[in-house]
Amino acid sequence: MMWLIAGALIWALGWFVNVRLAALPKSRTTSLLVPLIFGLTLVFIWESVVWGLQIQQVLLPAPSVIAARFAASTSILWQDWVQTVVKGMMSGYIIGCIAAFGMALAVDRFPFLQRGLLPVGNFAAALPVIGMAPILVMWFGFDWHSKAAVVVVMIFFPILVNTVQGLQASDAMQRDLMRTYAAGYWKTLLKLRLPAALPFIFNGLKIATTLALIGAIVAEFFGSPIRGMGFRISTSVGQLALDLVWAEIVVAAITGSAFYGAMALLERKWTFWHPSQRN
């Protein structure tokens, strides 16, 4: 009971502080502090509900238990992280980006391909591509190669569609100007059209970060060597070691956010001229 009252109090306090902070003029500190306080109160409520209602740790471990488990099993988590993220996800992400990018340049060069491939690409982007995972695992074996292949298949069309759209972003006036400078195809591409396409490309890259992580983890449900985040999650669920599962989820969440954040940072650095970045 004490726990529940404490939880309610913390919630009220956190919300009160946030209301006061939100009423202040918007600044960098408030826009960082408000969500942080909100998140912390949520974690605390979780903790107090678990202890207050005496929920079994097998069903929903308290955040403190998860943190303890996280600290105790860093070596397992690290090993899984290397297998899934570094080997599976990153290699797939790089291959997929290069393939989609090359394809986008070809599509852009030939209008016939553009009219034919883009509808198919848009269609494919809406499909449950993750279903390809068992087939790719069958083709490329249980190790990280099949995970990279799943990632490639998942991110290919979102990046392709966005890049093609971006390459059309420069307007006719600008292209005419390049022509008056006697710039050829490649020069126009490098100096005008690629920079103009960057906001769209980054949009695709950002969507692809989460897709890549999901693909790499879910592919491991269909078979993997005895390490990897997806493998650990599916086997630990079987053993009802939910604290370890949650620790893996924390790792995945941090990885996903960091990857997304890195892309967003790169975007801010390279497309500082775009209206959406200038506020």
Partner 1 sequence: MRQSLIPVLTVVVAIITLWYAAAVWLNAPWAYDKAQRAGVELSVSDMVVDTWSQKKPKLPAPHQVTREIWKTTVKKKITSKRSLIYHSWITLSATLLGFALGTALGISLAVGIVYNRTMDMSVMPWVITSQTIPILAVAPMIIVVLNAVGIQGLLPKAIISMYLSFFPVVVGVVKGLRSPDHMQLDQMRTWHASSTQTFWRLRLPSSMPYLFTSLKIAMAAAIVGAIVGELPTGAVAGLGARLLAGSYYGQTIQIWSALLMAAALAATLVALIGLIQRIVLKRMGMAQ
Of 113, 192, 194, 266, the one binding partner 1 by CB under 8 A: 113
Of 7, 18, 155, 267, the one binding partner 1 by CB under 8 A: 18
Whether the Cβ atoms of residue 148 and residue 91 lie closer than 8 Å to each other: yes
Q: How far is the CB of 214 from partner 1 (least distance, A)?
A: 4
List for the chain the helix, strand, coil content (%; round to 5).
Answer: 85, 0, 15
d(CA 141, CA 149): 11
- Distance, C-alpha 274 to centroid of its chain: 23
Of 5, 8, 12, 22, the one binding partner 1 by CB under 8 A: 22
In this structure, the chain runs to a length of: 279
- Distance, C-alpha 11 to centroid of its chain: 30
Helix (H, G, I), strand (E, B) or coil at 185: helix
Binding of residue 58 to partner 1 (CB under 8 A): yes
Residues 155-184 that bind partner 1 (CB under 8 A): none
Binding of residue 120 to partner 1 (CB under 8 A): yes
Cβ distance to partner 1 smaller for residue 196 or 228: 228
Identity at 276, one-letter amino acid code: S
d(CA 62, CA 243): 8
Q: How far is the CB of 184 from partner 1 (least distance, A)?
A: 27
Q: How far is the CB of 37 from partner 1 (least distance, A)?
A: 7
Q: What is the DSSP letter of 90?
A: I
d(CA 129, CA 219): 11
Of 5, 8, 12, 19, the one binding partner 1 by CB under 8 A: 19
Which residues would be at the binding site for partner 1 (CB under 8 A)? 15, 18-19, 21-23, 30-31, 34-35, 37-39, 58-60, 112-117, 119-120, 123, 126-128, 130-132, 134-135, 137-139, 209-210, 213-214, 217-218, 221-223, 229-230, 233-234, 237, 240, 242, 245, 248-249, 252-253, 256-257, 259-260
